[in-house]
Amino acid sequence: IPDSGHKYYLQFTIEDYRSGENAGSCLATVLYPKTKSAPVVNIKCLHTKDQKQIQDEDNRLYQHIRHQTKPIIGNNIPDSYGNIEPALEPVWALAVAGSSYIMWEKSTENLGYSMAQVKSVKQWIRKDDFIEFDYTVLLHEVPTQEIISCHMRLTWLPGHPMKVKYFCASETQEIEDGSGMEPGSAAGILYGRGANF
């Protein structure tokens, strides 16, 4: 749109991330302003699941996590072979939800994301009813193909919007030893390691 930006018209179906079943469809417009400020989004969806169904599933997920006797911890979900331990699947599902918020904020007209892996997760037990998790998630960025590591703090109680706090750093390439580079030097500072300066 001359002097304004680029506007996209989208029609798409949605599916339940955990089961794969169809969950409805949406119509949306996304306007990316020329000024590169945040896009303007209009979206309307038809959900095949009713509110009660969604609430019930949320509660089941919540109860499952609350009934664990020890704080949940995990690494590499899925593992290298694509396996997700059944006990950790709810925690992965929460990570997907939390990461989608990060990806929503980070994506641009030219940069998109998928959640590649939960590198680590640790549950923080709270005195109130909220459940809280500390995650390191890896995001796959296109078209750059980079793997971005994000630290994510997620807090949730069914019926409340999920709270997500995050910080992402490009995992690009730890400076590796013995590849003909000067040790220490600007490299460490550039990639945020050993910041004792």
Partner 1 sequence: QLDFWLSPRGIGYPVDVRVPFPSLQSVKVHLEANGISYSIMIEDVQTLVDEERTDMLHARRRALFSASTFDYAAYHTLAEIYDFMDVLVAENPNLVSKLEIGRSTENRPLYVLKFSRGGTNRPAIWIDTGIHSREWVTQASGVWFARKIVLDHENDEGLSSILDEMDIFLEIVTNPDGFAYTQSQNRMWRKTRSKRSGSLCVGVDPNRNWDAGFGGSGSSSSSCSDTYRGPYANSEPEVKAIVDFVNNHGNIKAFISIHSYSQLLLYPYGYTKTPTPDDAELHELSGRAVAALSSLYGTKFQYGSIYKTIYPASGSTVDWTYDQGIKYSFTFELRDTGRYGFLLPAKQIIPTAEETWLALKVIMEHARDHPY
* Binding region for partner 1 (CB under 8 A): 17, 78-83, 114-117, 138, 140, 142-147, 171-173, 175-176, 178-181, 187
Min dist CB 11 to partner 1, Å, is 15
**Helix (H) or strand (E) segment spanning residue 150:** strand 147-156
Nearer to partner 1, 81 or 197 (CB): 81
Nearer to partner 1, 63 or 83 (CB): 83
DSSP 100-117: HHHHHHH--SS-EEEEEE
Helix 89-106 with 51-66: angle, nearest 10 deg: 120
Min dist CB 69 to partner 1, Å, is 29
- Cα-Cα-Cα-Cα torsion 83, 88, 94, 98, nearest 10 degrees, comes to -60
Nearer to partner 1, 56 or 105 (CB): 105
- Burial track 173-189 (b if 16+ CB lie within 10 A, e otherwise): eeeeeeeeeeeeeeeee
CA dist 175 → 48, 110, 133 (Å)? 49, 27, 30
Min dist CB 85 to partner 1, Å, is 12
Nearer to partner 1, 68 or 149 (CB): 149
Min dist CB 187 to partner 1, Å, is 6
Min dist CB 67 to partner 1, Å, is 27
Nearer to partner 1, 25 or 68 (CB): 25
